[in-house]
């Protein structure tokens, strides 16, 4: 059966949090947006974000520092993704646990846009240049009864072109709860709270970081090898739909005014990401996800195709874990991404604290 009735309130809370006062749109208003990219193939396959995982997958800690736990002791993880328009990004991390202190992890997240052709304001070609961003991340987590709490600090460096560089600092604060049966997990994270230390031009106002509040729940069925997850994103920004302040009136073929449709249900579902994992023993994992916001913002006018959907698989063999994730960002295959992650236990199980 699914989660017990006592967990129902948590699901309802996620829905309630996604409705509130109106704020600005999320697109194109932040610096360091690379921090929101899924840093593991598993995250990519689960719709791009999941904060309610609590197992030995170290890379999941990048989205919720409370996910770091003793089962990750001595594990290393790295991931690589071919993103859109020739962009490449990845993440590498390592974790250790000290029994009386807690669990720690550190890692590097990076993005590179490759080599680009420069030009002046008149369109004359200049020298080529490269652009890239990276963040050094250090996190900590500790248990209290059935809860875990944790935080991470990110030191950020960004270079868009020669003479256009920026430094920043951000922090994540997270918590998670695991039921006694270990079938149900809930997570809550405040992500990318921080500031831009230096601007790209050295003058002007500092720009905001991609701050976000995320909550999620995962539940494994007791008698079936399935785990379902629901993640609510952008809880700090209830309105994720642009509202034209001066809309043009629309009429049907008979000349009757078409009343605008209610956007309430759309306002709700744009916050949610749905995903599932099919657990075939300890060896194979099959995954699928659906990101409604991504689909609605990137689909063609009359065709959606696979936009917003994601798929993936994972293989485990001893201390080695290999994951693959596919995500669709549009109708064309040029708008699809492929991601590969590798997890490796560098210590034997009996060494784990």
User: Would you place residue 178 in the very low, low, confident or very high pLDDT band (cuts 50, 70, 90)?
Assistant: very high
* Least trusted range by pLDDT, from 239-243, 278-282, 291-295: 239-243
Looking up tokens 């990004």, which residue turns up? 89
* Distant-in-sequence, close-in-space partners of 131: CB < 8 Å, separation ≥ 6: 112, 113, 116, 159, 160, 161
pLDDT surpassing 80 at residue 261: no
User: Would you place residue 29 in the very low, low, confident or very high pLDDT band (cuts 50, 70, 90)?
Assistant: confident
User: Would you place residue 17 in the very low, low, confident or very high pLDDT band (cuts 50, 70, 90)?
Assistant: very low
Q: In this predicted structure, what is the pLDDT of residue 293?
A: 94
SS3 state at 223: coil
Q: Which helix (H) or strand (E) holds 269?
A: helix 264-269
pTM of the predicted structure, to 2 decimals: 0.84
pLDDT surpassing 80 at residue 47: yes
- Backbone φ, ψ for residue 325 (5° rounding): -135, 135
Q: What's the rounded Cα separation, in Å, for the pair 348 and 319? A: 8
* Least trusted range by pLDDT, from 41-55, 56-70, 192-206, 338-352: 338-352
Q: In this predicted structure, what is the pLDDT of residue 253?
A: 76
Q: In this predicted structure, what is the pLDDT of residue 28?
A: 62
- Render pLDDT for 313-349 as a digit per residue (tens, 0 to 9): 999 998 999 999 999 998 877 789 999 999 999 876 5
* Higher per-residue pLDDT: 113 or 96: 96
| DSSP codes, 97-162 | EETTTEEEEEEEEEEEEEEEEEE-TTS-EEEEEEEEEEEEEEEEEEEETTEEEEEEEEEEEEEEET
- Render pLDDT for 290-299 as a digit per residue (tens, 0 to 9): 999 999 888 8
Quote the tokens at residue 242: 């642009």
Q: In this predicted structure, what is the pLDDT of residue 15?
A: 41
pLDDT surpassing 60 at residue 23: no
pLDDT surpassing 90 at residue 25: no
* Distant-in-sequence, close-in-space partners of 52: CB < 8 Å, separation ≥ 6: 64, 176, 185, 186, 187, 216, 217, 218, 229, 231
Q: In this predicted structure, what is the pLDDT of residue 13?
A: 42
Q: In this predicted structure, what is the pLDDT of residue 18?
A: 40
Mean pLDDT, residues 151-174 taken together = 95
Q: What's the rounded Cα separation, in Å, for the pair 311 and 339? A: 11
Contact yes or no for 185/206 (Cβ under 8 A): no
């Amino acid at each position: 059966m699914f989660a017990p009735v006592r967990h129902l309130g948590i699901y309802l809370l996620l829905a309630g949090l996604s409705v509130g006062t109106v704020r600005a749109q999320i697109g194109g208003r932040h610096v360091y947006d690379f921090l929101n990219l899924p840093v593991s193939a598993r995250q990519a396959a689960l719709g791009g974000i999941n904060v309610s995982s609590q197992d030995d997958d170290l890379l999941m800690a990048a989205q919720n520092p409370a996910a770091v736990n003793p089962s990750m002791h001595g594990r290393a993880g790295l991931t690589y993704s071919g993103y859109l328009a020739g962009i490449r990004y990845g993440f590498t991390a390592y974790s250790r646990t000290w029994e009386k202190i807690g669990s720690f992890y550190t890692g590097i997240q990076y993005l590179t846009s490759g080599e680009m052709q420069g030009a002046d304001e008149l369109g004359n070609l200049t020298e080529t240049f490269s652009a890239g961003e990276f963040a050094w991340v250090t996190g900590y987590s500790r248990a209290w009864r059935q809860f875990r709490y944790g935080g991470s600090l990110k030191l950020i460096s960004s270079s868009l072109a020669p003479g256009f560089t920026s430094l920043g600092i951000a922090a994540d604060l997270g918590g998670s709860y695991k039921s006694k049966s270990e079938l149900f997990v809930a997570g809550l994270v405040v992500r990318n709270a921080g500031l831009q230390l230096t601007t790209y031009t050295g003058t002007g106002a500092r720009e905001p970081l991609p701050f976000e509040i995320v909550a999620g729940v995962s539940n494994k069925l007791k008698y079936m090898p399935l785990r379902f997850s629901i993640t609510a994103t952008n809880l700090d920004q209830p309105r994720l739909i642009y509202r034209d302040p001066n809309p043009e009136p629309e009429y049907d073929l008979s000349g009757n005014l078409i009343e605008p449709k209610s956007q309430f249900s759309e306002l709700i579902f744009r916050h949610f990401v749905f995903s599932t994992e099919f657990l075939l023993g300890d060896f194979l994992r099959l995954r699928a996800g659906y990101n409604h916001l991504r689909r609605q913002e990137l689909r063609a006018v009359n065709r959606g195709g696979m936009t917003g959907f994601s798929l993936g698989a994972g293989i485990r063999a001893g201390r080695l874990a290999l994951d693959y994730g596919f995500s669709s960002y549009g109708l064309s295959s040029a708008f699809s991404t492929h991601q590969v992650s590798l997890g490796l236990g560098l210590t034997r199980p009996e060494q784990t604290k």
